[in-house]
Chains A and B, each alone.
Chain A
Amino acid sequence: MRVILIGGGETLETIYFLARIFVRKGYQTTVVDQDPDEAKMLSQRVEATVILGDGSDPAVLDQAGARRADVVLSLTQYDADNLVACQLAQQMYGVPRTMALVSDPDNEEIFRQLGISMVFSPAKIIGTLIEGQTACEDIANQTMVAGGRVQVTEVMLREGAPAVGKTFPELPMPNDSLIANVLRNGEVLMPREVDHIRVGDRIILISVPESQADAIEVLTGESG
């Protein structure tokens, strides 16, 4: 896979470590950085092609091999630069997948509307993670997927939890939530295989951040 990474300045460390990850995976990696010292450092430390230039300049994208690239990731600290780099990569060079970093979370939805396939907002993801964290130790192993839009949570049911003794269809789960599996006695079961919910069952819950707290309350009786 051929990947072009654009960034530097405040995102230099991210670019460096990402380039290292890609090279280790065997991707043909090109890094584009506007700063001569950074470009020099990157070329010495990573086995990637390093281009000195502005990744939102069509000529530089061409030089970086955009015509044959599979993915272009523009991860500068400037949302506008990332937008233009991705749009040029898509429109002028036909790059199938582009990703833009956005510093301002409000730009995440805007960039999607403007046609960028993958948009990543660190501020939004961290903010959502904080919201999703519950102090209760029965809520464990929380993972975010789909760029922070979906949460997967493991919920342990103790004695007295309202879900115990009920069947899954009876549970008044919020609309944006789903029970994927039940872990019982070391086995992974599907909800349809389970007659009644028991104490000690670990429920694998899939939800959006907005519905997670309600879903957990239905299961455990606790509002996290």
Chain B
Amino acid sequence: MTSNQYIVVVGCGRLGSLLANRLSAVGASVVVIDRDETAFRHLSSEFSGFQVLGNATEVEVLRRAKIEQADCVLAVTRRDNINLMVAQVAKVIYKVPQVIARVFNPQRVAVYKEFGIDTICTTSLAGEAFLARLAS
């Protein structure tokens, strides 16, 4: 399903690089954006996508990553606010069909749902996983 797709991954930390590596491995065209060059070291040697060095809150950086052509944008930096801003720019301004933002603070999730932004709250997910493990 993701092969042939053009996917922009914003943030090349642990989560971003994991996603970039896996998506690239199944044949998607992946571009990774990070403002810190050392972050790209997380990418595997088999990663066949592109890297864009820059701050994703600058539209010019998103344009360099050809966001207007993206099928999917994954905003997975360590900062909720950057993820939420990038997600909105992608969805509202550039009309990217699928946009997902990682959010740490569960309290922000409901509001952004109202804006139509798809979020994954890593805190809630981890919390549920822990509780499920404890219950079993």
Contact = CB atoms under 8 A, between A and B. Distances in A.
Interface of A: 56-59, 78-81, 83-84, 87-88, 91-92, 104, 106-107, 110, 113-114
A59 B84 CA distance: 18
B42 to A, nearest CB: 22
B80 interface: yes
B93 A113 contact: yes
Given A88-B111, A91-B114, A114-B92, A80 B85 contact: yes
Contact of A83 (B59, B81, B105): B81
Interface string B75-114: 0000111101110110011000000000001011001001
A2 B73 CA distance: 39
Contacts of A80: 57, 79, 81-82, 84-86
Nearest to B88: A114
A92 B81 contact: no
Contacts, number: 55
By secondary structure, the B interface counts as helix
Nearest to A61: B107
Contacts of A107: 57-59
A84 B108 contact: yes
Nearest to B58: A104
Contacts of A106: 58-60
A56 B108 CA distance: 9
A63 to B, nearest CB: 13
A136 B79 CA distance: 49
